[in-house]
Amino acid sequence: MKILVFNEEKKLDAYVGETICDFIRQHDQATIGFATGSTPLGVYQYFIDSYQNHKVSFQNVQAFNLDEYVGLKPEHPRSFASAMKNELFSHIDILPENIHALDGSKEDMDEECQRYETLIEQNPIDIQILGIGMDGHIAYNEPGSPLDGACHVVNLHQESIESSLDYGFDHIEDVPTQGVTQGIGTIMKAKQLIMMAKGEKKADLVKRMIYGEVTSDFPSSIIQRHPNVIVCLDQEAASQLKEEDYEKR
């Protein structure tokens, strides 16, 4: 595991953004996994700027979203599909047919999960962007999720429901109580993981993710078992790590 700690948020976003742009430029086809939430927004702005400055094209990119709320149609303004469209996809030249996501409004969610799992098996993810939730989740794999799980529906934990207020819901009662997510097993099949965390509130979680026991009680700890993972942190999120364990940027 490579851990990089950046003294400026802009540098962190540019590093992750450029790593992925480089990969896209060097391959005829690139399959990238995208996370929603606040942490990767600077990276998505980096992609938009790079595209607008003709430094990269996304026409050869297949995009896979990590997760979604159950009960919201993709076009609902608070869905993760809408968030990805507004924050990134509508500003770059990615082909609409290459944007893939779980649809949380399907009547048969088991069938929807199977469809998405199969699609990912057919299009293995080259680089997966990840963030860490306030209960240690990755994607919407809440504590207790099986470490080898496939796409599935989950009951969201209270921390996840409360964090959703940052994503534009006006009232806590408006937040769906279930999510649908790539499983930990699905995520672990990605060829490379880029885990990002920013801010003091993530410091304890980052410490447990990196030094703690690998356990389904703390799903993000699974990244310790991935053979190709880069953890990109700001100084606040890294504040509980030993300096000898990371590289300063």
Q: Interface with ligand F6R by CB under 6 A: which residues? A: 35-39, 66-67, 80, 131-133, 137-139
- Beta carbon of residue 53, minimum distance to ligand F6R (angstroms, whole number): 26
Q: Which is nearer to ligand F6R, 38 or 86 (CB)?
A: 38
- Beta carbon of residue 91, minimum distance to ligand F6R (angstroms, whole number): 18
- Tokens representing residue 236 in the block: 């606040």
For residue 57, what are the contacts with CB-CB under 8 A and spacing of at least 6?
A: 24, 51, 93
Q: Which is nearer to ligand F6R, 50 or 164 (CB)?
A: 164
- Beta carbon of residue 4, minimum distance to ligand F6R (angstroms, whole number): 18
Q: Which is nearer to ligand F6R, 81 or 109 (CB)?
A: 81
Q: Which is nearer to ligand F6R, 92 or 196 (CB)?
A: 196
Closest CA to 210 of 186, 180, 231: 231
- Beta carbon of residue 201, minimum distance to ligand F6R (angstroms, whole number): 8
Q: Which is nearer to ligand F6R, 62 or 163 (CB)?
A: 163
Closest CA to 142 of 110, 170, 181: 181
Q: Is 31 exposed, middle or buried (0-12, 13-18, 19+ CB in 10 A)?
A: buried
- Tokens representing residue 111 in the block: 């069938």
Quote the CA–CA distance of 185 and 23 in Å, as a whole number. 24
- Beta carbon of residue 160, minimum distance to ligand F6R (angstroms, whole number): 7
* Farthest CA pair distance, the chain: 51
Residue, CB closest to ligand F6R = 131
Helices marked H in 27-145: 41-52, 80-87, 109-122
Looking at residue 12, its amino acid is: L
